[in-house]
Structure 1
Amino acid sequence: MTLARTAAAFAPLDTLAADLLPHVMDDAGDGSHDLSHLLRVWNNACRLQKEEGGDVRILLAAVLLHDCVRVEKNSPLRSQASALSAQRAREILRDLRWDEAAIEAVAHAVQAHSYSAQVTPQSVEAKIVQDADRLDAIGMIGVARCFYVAGRMGSALYEPLDPQAQARPLEDGRYALDHFPAKLLRLAEGFQTACGARLAGERQARMRDFLTGFLAEL
C-alpha cells in the first residue's frame, strides 16, 4: 500500500498523516499495534471528538505517534513506553517545525495514553486519546488482540486445572484468560470522557458475553 493511499484514510488531515506515517509504519511484526490499530484508534478519537471537542490536528498527531517507540508487552521497559514515545514525538514534530505549545500538547497526550504509565490526562485531547486507545483494548477487538498477543508472547490460553484463578494468583503473563480479570475487565472503570465511558460499557458487555461462552465450553 502506498503512502498516499494510506494517508488518505486519515482525510481530511491526509497531508499531516503523510508527514507522520513514515515514522510509524514499521510495526516490527506486531499485528496488535499496526496500521489497523492506528485506524481504529483514530476512528474512535473522531467519534469522541464530535461530542467532546478538541483540536483534531493535535489528536491525529497523538494517535499516530502514541506507539512510535515499540516496547514489547513482556519487556521490563514496558512502563516507560509512553514516555519514550512522547520524547520521540517531540523530536519528530520539531523536525516538522511545529510550535512548542502544540508539541507539548501532543507529547502529553502520547504519554498519558498508557495504562501502565499511570499519567493522568489533563487536556481534552489527552483524555480522548487515552479513551480511544482503551476502547481498542476491550470489546470483541480487545478479545482478539488479547489472544493474538498471548500467542505472540508464547502464553497458554488458560491454566487447565483452575482457569478462573479461584485458588491461585492471576498470571496474565502465562495465561491469556487471566488477562481479562487482571486488566481488561477493569478498563471500563477509568474512562475520561462521557462518550468514551458509554462506548466502553457497551464493549465491556460484549466482552463479558464472550467470557461466559468461553467458560461454558470448558
Structure 2
Amino acid sequence: MLTQDQIINKTADYVKSILSGEGSGHDWWHILRVWNNAKTIAATENADLFIVELAALLHDIGDHKFHNGDETVGPRMAAAWLSELKVTGTTIDHICNIIIELSFKGANTTSEMSTLEGQIVQDADRLDAIGAIGIARTFAYGGHKNREMYNPNIAPELHDTFEAYKSSTAPTINHFYEKLLLLKDRMHTQTARNLAEQRHQYMEEFLQQFYAEWEGKR
C-alpha cells in the first residue's frame, strides 16, 4: 500500500511525463505553479491537503481545449490513474468532481465549487491565469490557436453559455475582458483574494501600455 506522499510524488511524475514541453501555457510548469499556489492557500484553510494536491496535479491532465471540447477526458484519465494507485473510490470521486467543476465557463455563467478543496484548487488555477504569468500564458495560447493578437474591430463578448465561451475564436486581447479581469472578484479564499489584487492591477497597467503603444503614443 502506497503512502499519501508516494501517491502524490508518483502523480507528479506521471503528469510531468505527459505535459512537459507543451507549448500553449498548459504545461508541466503551469501544473507545478498551481500545485504550489494550492498548497499556499490550503495552509490557511482547514482542507484535506491530500485531495487538494492530487486535484491540483491532475486538473489539466485531459483539458477539454485539447480534446475537441470533450469535458469527460480529464476526469476519466484522472480516475484511471488514481485507481491504478489504489486510491479509495470516495477520494477519486471527490478529485474528479473538482476537475469537472474547475473550468471557467463564461462571463455570464456560474462555476460554483461544491467543496472547500475544490475552491482552493480553482483559486490556485485562476491565480496562474492572471498577472504577469497570466499575460504570458494568454498570448502563448492565442499563438497556439493561430489567433490575432488584437483587432479593434472585434469587440469582447461576455458569453452566456459554456458552449459559446469554448467556441470563441476572438483575438487574444479580448480574453482579458471575457475572463482574466473577472477572476479577481471570483476568488473563494481570502489568501487568493489578497494575491489576486496585485496581479489584477498589473494586467490593467499592461493593457494601458498596450493600447498606448498600439496608437503610437508611447
With normalisation by structure 1, the TM-score equals 0.81
- Say whether 1:95 aligns with 2:87: no
- Say whether 1:191 aligns with 2:183: no
* Change in 2 beyond 3 A, CA 1:51/1:112: same
Question: What runs of 5+ residues in structure 1 fail to find an aligned partner?
Answer: 1-12
* Change in 2 beyond 3 A, CA 1:214/1:169: closer
Question: What runs of 5+ residues in structure 2 fail to find an aligned partner?
Answer: 158-167
Moved over 4 A (4+): none
Query: SS in structure 1 opposite 2:77?
Result: helix
- Say whether 1:59 aligns with 2:55: no
Residue deviations 1:11-57 (CA, integer Å, cap 9, x gap): xx762233213542222733411111011101110110111231211
> C-alpha distance in 1, partners of 2:178/2:99?
24
> C-alpha distance in 2, partners of 1:157/1:205?
21
> C-alpha distance in 2, partners of 1:214/1:46?
34
With normalisation by structure 2, the TM-score equals 0.81
Residue 71 of structure 1: how far off its partner (Å): 3.4
- Say whether 1:170 aligns with 2:156: yes
- Say whether 1:125 aligns with 2:122: no
Which structure 2 residues correspond to residues 1-218 of structure 1 after superposition, within 5 A? 15-24=6-15, 25-27=17-19, 29-72=22-65, 76-77=68-69, 80-81=70-71, 83-116=72-105, 119-159=111-151, 162=152, 168-170=154-156, 173-218=169-214
Query: SS in structure 2 opposite 1:72?
Result: helix
Residue 173 of structure 1: how far off its partner (Å): 2.1
Q: Check the 8 A contact 1:147/1:157 in 2, yes or no.
A: yes
Q: Check the 8 A contact 1:23/1:68 in 2, yes or no.
A: no
**Overall identity of the aligned pairs, in %:** 32
* Change in 2 beyond 3 A, CA 1:95/1:76: closer
